[in-house]
Structure 1
Amino acid sequence: MDLSRSSQVSPRTVWTVGLHALAIAALGLVLYRLRPMLALLAVSLMMVLALEPLVGLFERWGLKRGWSVMLSLISLLGLFTLIALSVVPMLVDQVSHLVEALPGFVTQVRDSAWLRSLDERFSVLESLERELPRVSGTIAGPVIGVLSSSLGVLVTGITVLTLTVFGLLAGEQLFEQGILWIRPDRRPELRELLLDMNRAVSGYLVGVFLICALGAVVTGTVTWALGVPYFLALGLMYLVLGFIPYIGSLLVALTVSLTTLATVGFRRALIALALFLIYQQIEGNVLQPLIQRRTLKMNPLLIAIVVIAGALGMGVLGAVLALPLAAALQVLLQRVQEQRNRQWARELPAPAPAPAAPPPSDDTEEPLHH
Structure 2
Amino acid sequence: MDSRTVFRNTLIVLATAAAAYILLIGIRVWIVLLIAIIIASAVRPLVVRLNRWRIPSGLAILFVYGGIALSLVILVLVVVPPVITQMANYLEEEDRLANRIVFTQLWIERRAAEFTGNPDFAIADQDQTRAAVDDLVREVRTAAPNFLSSISGTLGEAALVFIMGVYWLTSYNGAIQFISELFTVVNRERVRELIFEIENALGSYMRGVTAVALIVGIANFIPTMLLGVQNAGTYAFIIAVGTLLPVVGALIGGIIAVFLALLTSPTQAIIVLVVFLIVQQLESTVLTPRVMSRTMRIDPLLVMVAIFTGFAMAGPIGAIISVPIIGTISILLRRLVLEPRRESVKHKVEAGAVLLNLGTEAAVISVPSETPASGASSAPPTSPSGIITSSR
Q: What is the TM-score with the length of structure 2 in the denominator?
A: 0.73
Higher strand share: 2
Shift of 1:35: 1.3
Q: Does 1:80 align with 2:92?
A: no
Match of 1:364 in 2: none
Instruction: Judge which range, 82-91 or 297-306, deviates more.
Output: 297-306
Distance 1:139 1:94 in 2: 14
Shift of 1:17: 4.3
- 8 Å CA contact 2:201–2:295 kept in 1: the answer is yes
- SS of equivalent to 1:162: helix
RMSD of the alignment, in Å?
3.5
- 8 Å CA contact 2:307–2:323 kept in 1: the answer is yes
Distance 1:305 1:16 in 2: 39
Shift of 1:139: 8.2
Where relative contact order (Cα < 8 A, 6+ residues apart) is larger, the structure is 1
Shift of 1:25: 2.2
Distance 2:68 2:208 in 1: 17
Q: Where does structure 2 lack aligned partners over 5 or more consecutive residues? A: 103-124, 347-356, 369-375, 380-392
- 8 Å CA contact 1:241–1:249 kept in 2: the answer is yes
* Change over 3 Å in CA distance of 1:300–1:178 after alignment to 2: closer
Distance 1:83 1:164 in 2: 21
* Change over 3 Å in CA distance of 1:143–1:273 after alignment to 2: closer
Aligned partner of 1:350 among 342, 357, 362: 362
Deviation digits for residues 4-36 of structure 1 (CA, Å, limit 9, x no counterpart): xxxxx6666655544433332222122112212
Query: Partner letter of residue 199 of structure 1?
Result: N
- 8 Å CA contact 1:201–1:325 kept in 2: the answer is no
Aligned partner of 1:66 among 58, 61, 80: 58
Query: Partner letter of residue 197 of structure 2?
Result: D
Instruction: Judge which range, 187-196 or 13-22, deviates more.
Output: 13-22
Higher helix share: 1
Query: Partner letter of residue 276 of structure 1?
Result: F
Identity level (%): 25
Distance 2:292 2:84 in 1: 37
Match of 1:324 in 2: 324
Distance 2:14 2:240 in 1: 45
Q: Where does structure 1 lack aligned partners over 5 or more consecutive residues? A: 1-8, 119-124, 126-131, 360-370
Distance 2:182 2:96 in 1: 71
Query: Partner letter of residue 13 of structure 2?
Result: A
- SS of equivalent to 1:294: helix
- 8 Å CA contact 1:47–1:164 kept in 2: the answer is yes
Give runs of aligned pairs for residues 16-27 of structure 1, distance below 5 A.
Answer: 16-27=8-19
Deviation digits for residues 158-208 of structure 1 (CA, Å, limit 9, x no counterpart): 222211111122222222233223211111111111111111111111111
Distance 1:173 1:273 in 2: 50
Q: Does 1:175 align with 2:187?
A: no
Match of 2:340 in 1: 339
Shift of 1:106: 6.1
- 8 Å CA contact 1:227–1:264 kept in 2: the answer is no
Match of 2:311 in 1: 311
Shift of 1:78: 1.5
Q: What is the TM-score with the length of structure 1 in the denominator?
A: 0.77
- SS of equivalent to 1:351: strand
Give runs of aligned pairs for residues 1-370 of structure 1, distance below 5 A.
Answer: 16-99=8-91, 102-104=94-96, 142-266=143-267, 268-335=268-335, 336-345=337-346, 346-348=357-359, 349-352=361-364, 357-358=377-378
Shift of 1:232: 1.9
- 8 Å CA contact 2:224–2:271 kept in 1: the answer is no
